[in-house]
């Protein structure tokens, strides 16, 4: 039998990004012995790449901002498909979570009166994003990392061992969750450097594994984003929600090819940058959809006036939610008004003095200078849509982050619901903190209610070990890198920004063929730090996730947020009432419909009835207010 290193914990958090670290900190603060597992080194998780900021209605930049306004913006951005309870909790709790980071050592940019500065972003009515230049994710991850270290220092004093209560297992990958009957019992995986197997016995597991971007070819995401958590959850019997909603960020780099997809932060537009086509026109004025007409400027003068005087001017259309901007860019390029490399121009050079650009957007300056030979203080950038974020994910209870499987929790990008059909920029970093903490509490409370620890069956371990070893036993098998590239092509070409039935059916047929090949991929070389082997194992997850996205996208016959159909271009109030659920049936993805829970009346009342009409069916609308009641 294979050698397996065993560890026993109360809570195992899979993922060391913002949500995982915040969950682990909370579990440890509540006295639970906690392990943090991460595919990469500590402090390098994908969150490190976030640029623009964390949205929280602290009201530092505009005192009119508050959590009710934030809630409204979030629901609008998600086109009302959001889990409204999550959107509510998120808006309410985000300020406390950001302030807490500051108390743990984060050094945000400041306002004149010494508070945390807040910047504008698409879809947010007021300047709302707490930020540090354009490297906010780095600040967040480093602060949480340093908070984990601070807790370990306390434990060194009280327990004589810094790792007594919270320990990081870096460069360790989980390939299976293990169960005892219907409950979670632990997590199984391998250690990258040695290739040896490792088992964490734990009654509670928090998934915080991030997204799925590596199933697409043009993406802003890193290699970690292979949908592991999504697949692990399905394999363990949990449900995925609304996987058809994949966000394409409107501004990725398009040239040179080696950096295609790399993110150009939305802060460029938040700080005054504008989009132009090859004719030099600010084309976004032509693309303001009806639902947003009232909130966006109609002339350049009004749009430009907004930065200094937001009370008397409406917002520039460049700051529409991301799905709108991405589709508009796509239309301009299709109409032949794109740039040389099939993008459009993003111009900050003519809008701000060079020193100001250097101060506010330092990493963008370096990124373009060093990777594309473009000086953004002098010339416009060429940009186009890039796969950025998955709104769909593990269905969870909003308050406790609990998934359908007892003992399983999920937070951050791997969870679903919070962002509806489209996420607003800045709402992820705050989501990580709010629901990371809630997952930590959820897991701790779950443990407190347990009477016996679950047990793990030897046969399950043998099966997990055999599955993980398989590619190494096929050294002459198919090249995993080739299969991965084909999978990315299928998803990018056939289930991309604009979708149509025939192409999605073709995608499903091609994925079906890939399924056989994934089972035959092999890895040459040994067990120690062997990336070919690691990728071979990731392919299982990417394939499952790709099937979920394609199936759900084919099913939803409307266009909404991150799901745009050429054959069903309208948004449909009937479809708004439907959540699409993926489960696993043997090795097959099974899709079903689940009704959306009606929004609580007091939350509905935060919107104008006329606005609600654009999203809801007549029978869902609140009764019209009679004139007497109004006064």
Partner 1 sequence: MGYQAQLRIWRGDAGRGDLADYKVEVNEGEVVLDVLHRLQATQAGDLAIRWNCKAGKCGSCSMEINGRPRLACMTRMSTFGENETLTITPMRTFPVIRDLVTDVSFNYAKAREIPSFTPDPATKPGEFRMQQVDVNRSQEFRKCIECFLCQNTCHVIRDHTENEGAFAGPRFLMRIAELEMHPADTADRREIAQDDFGLGLCNITKCCTEVCPEHIKITDNALIPMKERVAGRKYDPLVWLGSKIGRRQVKDTPKVPGKK
Ligand X SMILES: Cc1cc2nc3c(=O)[nH]c(=O)nc-3n(C[C@H](O)[C@H](O)[C@H](O)COP(=O)(O)OP(=O)(O)OC[C@H]3O[C@@H](n4cnc5c(N)ncnc54)[C@H](O)[C@@H]3O)c2cc1C
User: Around Cβ 376, how many Cβ atoms within 10 Å?
Assistant: 25
Tokens of 545: 């996730």
Candidate ranges 159-167, 411-419, 538-546, 552-560; the one touching partner 1 (CB under 8 A):
159-167
Mask for 148-177, x = binds ligand X (CB under 6 A): -------------------------xx---
The closest of 125, 188, 89 to 430, measured between CA atoms, is 89
Least Cβ distance, residue 475 to ligand X (angstroms) = 23
Q: Does 432 bind ligand X (CB under 6 A)?
A: yes
Distance CA 268, CA 360 (A): 9
Contact with ligand X (CB under 6 A): which of 24, 49, 234, 514? 49
- Give the one residue of 15, 261, 440, 471 binding ligand X; rule: CB under 6 A: 15
Near partner 1 in 44-83, by CB under 8 A: 44, 46, 48-49, 58
By the rule CB under 6 A, 17 interacts with ligand X: yes
563 is catalytic: no
Does 113 bind partner 1 (CB under 8 A)? Our answer is yes
Write the burial class of residue 288 (CB in 10 Å: 0-12 exposed, 13-18 middle, 19+ buried).
buried
- One residue of 74, 152, 422, 430 binding partner 1 per CB under 8 A: 152
SS (H, E, C) 433-448: HHHHHHHHHHHHHHHH
> Known catalytic residue: 269?
yes
Q: Does 19 bind ligand X (CB under 6 A)?
A: yes
Q: Are strands 129-130 and 118-119 parallel, antiparallel or unpaired?
A: antiparallel
As beta bridge partners, residue 390 has 246
285 binds partner 1 (CB under 8 A): no
Q: By C-alpha distance, which of 306, 383, 299, 389 is closest to 345?
A: 383
- Minimum distance from CB of 525 to partner 1 (Å)? 3
Minimum CB separation from partner 1 for residue 341, in Å? 11
The one of ligand X, partner 1, none whose footprint includes residue 372, by CB under 5 to 8 A per kind, is partner 1
Footprint on residues 548-607 left by partner 1 (CB under 8 A): none
d(CA 318, CA 282): 9
Torsion angle, alpha carbons of 507, 508, 511, 512, to 10: -140
Residue 579: cis peptide before it, omega within 30 degrees of 0: no
Query: Which sign does the torsion angle of CA 139, 141, 144, 148 carry?
Result: negative
120 contacts 319 by C-beta, under 8 angstroms: yes
State which H helix or E strand residue 388 sits in. strand 381-390
* Site track for partner 1 across 198-237, x = CB under 8 A: ------------------------xxx-------------
What is the token pair recorded at 527? 């067990």
Residue 99 interacts with which of partner 1, ligand X, none, CB < 5 to 8 Å by class: partner 1
Which ranges of 335-375 would DSSP assign to H, the alpha helix?
354-360, 362-372
Task: Name which of 45 and 218 has its Cβ closer to ligand X.
Answer: 45
Coil/strand/helix, residue 66 = coil
**Closest distance of CB 447 from ligand X, Å:** 21
Q: Is 47 in the site for ligand X (CB under 6 A)?
A: yes
From the candidates 76, 269, 423, 484, which is the catalytic residue?
269
Q: Among all chains, which residue has been given the structure tokens 């799901």? A: 563
Which residue stretch of 37-45, 252-260, 294-302, 479-487 sits at the interface with ligand X (rule: CB under 6 A)?
A: 37-45
Quote the CA–CA distance of 506 and 216 in Å, as a whole number: 16
Whichever of 277 and 367 has its CB closer to ligand X, that residue is 367
Residues that are catalytic = 249, 269
- State the residues that interact with ligand X by CB under 6 A: 14-20, 37-40, 45-47, 49-54, 136-137, 173-174, 189, 208-210, 220-221, 224, 228-229, 263, 388-389, 412-414, 425-429, 432
């Amino acid at each position: 039998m294979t050698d397996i290193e065993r560890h026993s914990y109360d809570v195992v958090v899979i993922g060391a990004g913002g949500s995982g670290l915040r969950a682990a900190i909370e579990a440890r603060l509540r006295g639970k012995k906690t392990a943090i597992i991460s595919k990469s080194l500590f402090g390098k998780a994908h969150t490190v790449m976030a640029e623009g900021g964390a949205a929280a209605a602290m009201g530092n930049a505009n005192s009119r901002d508050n959590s009710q306004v934030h809630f409204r913006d979030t629901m609008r951005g998600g086109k009302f498909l959001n889990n409204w309870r999550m959107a509510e909790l998120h808006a309410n709790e985000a300020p406390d979570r950001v302030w807490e980071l500051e108390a743990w050592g984060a050094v945000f940019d400041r306002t004149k009166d010494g508070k945390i500065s807040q910047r504008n972003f698409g879809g947010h009515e007021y300047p709302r994003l707490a930020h540090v230049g354009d490297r906010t994710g780095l600040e967040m991850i480093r602060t949480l990392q340093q908070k984990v270290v601070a807790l370990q220092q306390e434990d060194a004093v009280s327990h004589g061992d810094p790792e007594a209560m919270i320990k990081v297992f870096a460069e360790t990958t989980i390939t299976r969750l293990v169960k005892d009957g219907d409950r979670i019992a632990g997590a199984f995986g391998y250690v990258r450097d040695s290739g040896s197997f490792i088992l964490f016995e734990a009654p509670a597991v928090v998934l915080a594994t991030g997204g799925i971007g590596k199933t697409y070819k043009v993406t802003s995401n890193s290699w970690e984003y292979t949908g592991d958590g999504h697949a692990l959850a399905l394999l363990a019997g949990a449900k995925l929600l609304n996987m058809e909603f994949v966000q394409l960020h409107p501004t990725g780099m398009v040239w040179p090819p080696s950096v295609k997809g790399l993110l150009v932060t939305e802060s460029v537009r938040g700080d005054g940058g504008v989009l132009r086509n090859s004719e030099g026109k600010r084309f976004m004025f032509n693309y303001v959809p009806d639902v947003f007409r009232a909130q966006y400027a109609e002339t350049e003068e009004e749009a430009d006036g907004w930065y200094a005087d937001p009370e008397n001017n409406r917002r520039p259309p460049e700051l529409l939610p991301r799905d709108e901007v991405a589709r508009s860019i796509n239309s301009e390029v299709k109409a032949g008004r794109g740039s040389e490399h099939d993008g459009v121009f993003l111009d900050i050079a003519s809008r701000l003095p060079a020193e100001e650009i250097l101060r506010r957007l330092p990493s963008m300056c370096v990124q373009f200078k060093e990777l594309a030979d473009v000086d953004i203080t002098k010339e416009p950038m060429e940009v186009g849509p890039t796969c950025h974020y998955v709104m769909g994910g593990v269905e969870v209870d909003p308050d406790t982050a609990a998934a359908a499987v007892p003992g399983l929790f999920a937070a951050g990008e791997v969870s679903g619901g919070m962002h509806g059909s489209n996420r607003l920029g800045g709402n992820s970093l705050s989501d990580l903190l709010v629901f990371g903490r809630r997952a930590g509490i959820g897991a701790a409370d779950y443990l407190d209610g347990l009477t016996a620890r679950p047990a793990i069956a030897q046969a399950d371990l043998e099966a997990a070990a055999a599955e993980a070893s398989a590619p190494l036993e096929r050294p002459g098998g198919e090249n995993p890198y080739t299969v991965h590239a084909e999978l990315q092509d299928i998803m990018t070409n056939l289930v991309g920004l604009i979708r149509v039935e025939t192409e999605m059916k073709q995608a499903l047929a091609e994925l079906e063929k890939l399924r056989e090949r994934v089972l035959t991929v092999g890895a040459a070389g040994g067990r120690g730090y062997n990336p070919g082997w690691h990728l071979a194992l990731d392919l299982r997850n990417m394939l499952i996730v790709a099937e979920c996205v394609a199936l759900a996208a084919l099913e939803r016959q409307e266009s909404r947020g991150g799901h745009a159909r050429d054959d069903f271009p309208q948004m449909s109030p009937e479809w708004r009432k439907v959540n699409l659920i993926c489960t696993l049936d043997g090795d097959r993805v099974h899709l079903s419909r689940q009704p959306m829970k009606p929004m609580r009346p007091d939350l509905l009342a935060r919107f104008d009835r006329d606005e609600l009409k654009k999203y809801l069916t007549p029978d869902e609308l609140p009764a019209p207010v009679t004139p007497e009641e109004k006064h």
